Amino acid sequence: MTASEVEESRRRWDSVAVGWARQRDRFAETVAPVTDALLALLEPRAGERILELAAGPGDLGLRVAQRVGDTGSVLVTDFAPEMVAASRSRAAELGLANVETAVVDGQAIGLPSGSFDGVVCRFGYMLMPEPVHGFAETRRVLCEGGRVAFAVWGDRRLNSWGTAATRALVDLGYLEGVEPYAPGPFALDEPERLLAALDGGRLELDRVEDVAVVWRFSSPGAWWEMMCDLSSHLTETLDDLADDAIEALRDRAASYLVTHKEGDGIAIDGVARVLLARPAP
């Protein structure tokens, strides 16, 4: 990816920072089993210094901050300044004095080597054009005995909540066919690809588990509203469309959702993969 492509990606993420902040509670609630698994793998201890990469509007790193206590600290980072601004306000809202925030590209961390006891990253590495660089940089900033706990989305065929909108955008000609492994939510959904990237970054897998999540909505329309907040491809496309074209796109997307009834609403299953890795000798 060229420097201007990185800038374009940053701009896209900046443009949805407000939407991500709006969806923060719903997202955090849905992926709570992932967050719990990450905390269990990381086992943050009082006094530790932890780095969060690709933190978005702030959730996981702020939970870690509560575990490392006053003698520890968490540096919550993202490469999109608007996301960092959202996590900074969230940390202030929660009154967390041991949190700092910074704009950091996960592929070029730009912090001293060996400076963290642990790194966490929820749904970030697969968005980097070269995840292997993200893993290599993670290894570099870890101190001896350090570890990284991170999550990626699992098998795309089991995550219709995250694939349906893109399929509709492609079907209706708003998006050119998507490269299966281009940076995106499912770029590392195949275990072999993920392990090869880890290995390339000289990180050694310690543990891995698949974690089920369930997205709950009052209706497919509520799912669509969430996606409009989270996806820059969607928001940018919708800006230029008339109401009937938006409706057609939404209906086509909803036709790809694998839902089941739950109470008065619908539920959509998904699966994430959670891993713990350590610097290879």
Question: Is 127 one of the binding residues for ligand SAM (CB under 6 A)?
Answer: yes
Site string for ligand SAM, 76-115 (x = CB under 6 A): --xxx--x---------------------xxx--------
Closest residue to ligand SAM, Cβ-based?
A: 56
**Which 1-40 positions form the footprint of ligand SAM (CB under 6 A)?**
13, 27
**Nearest residue to 271 (alpha-carbon basis) of 151, 182, 165:** 151
CB-nearer residue toward ligand SAM: 106 or 154: 106
Residue 280 is encoded by which pair of tokens? 């290879």
Which helix (H) or strand (E) segment holds residue 243: the answer is: helix 243-255
124: contact with ligand SAM by CB under 6 A: yes
Q: Is 122 in the site for ligand SAM (CB under 6 A)?
A: yes
Q: Which stretch binds ligand SAM (CB under 6 A): 120-128, 140-148, 167-175, 267-275?
A: 120-128
Query: CA angle at residue 167 from 162 to 173, to 5 degrees?
Result: 140
Residue 242: CB minimum distance to ligand SAM, A: 29
Packing angle between helix 81-93 and helix 3-15, nearest 10 degrees? 40
Closest distance to ligand SAM from the beta carbon of 111 (Å): 13
What is the C-alpha to C-alpha distance for residues 277 and 199, in angstroms, rounded to an integer?
A: 10
CA–CA distance, 12 with 129 (Å, rounded to integer): 14
189 contributes a contact to ligand SAM by CB under 6 A:
no
- Examine residue 184 and tell whether it contacts ligand SAM (CB under 6 A): no
Stretch that binds ligand SAM, among 65-73, 119-127, 139-147, 251-259 (CB under 6 A): 119-127
CB 204 within 8 A of CB 280: yes
User: What is the end-to-end Cα distance of the chain in Å, rounded?
Assistant: 30
In whole angstroms, the minimum distance from the beta carbon of 75 to ligand SAM comes to 13
* CA gap 103, 10 in Å, rounded: 11
Would strands 73-78 and 99-103 be described as parallel, antiparallel, or unpaired?
A: parallel
Does the protein bind ligand SAM through residue 128 (CB under 6 A)? yes
Write out the two tokens for 127: 């968005």
Binding residues among 52-81 for ligand SAM as defined by CB under 6 A: 53-56, 59, 78-80
Pull the structure tokens for residue 274.
């959670």
Tokens read off for 73:
């600290």
Q: Is 137 in the site for ligand SAM (CB under 6 A)?
A: no
Under rule CB under 6 A, residue 125 binds ligand SAM: no
Residues in touch with ligand SAM (CB under 6 A): 13, 27, 53-56, 59, 78-80, 83, 105-107, 122-124, 127-128
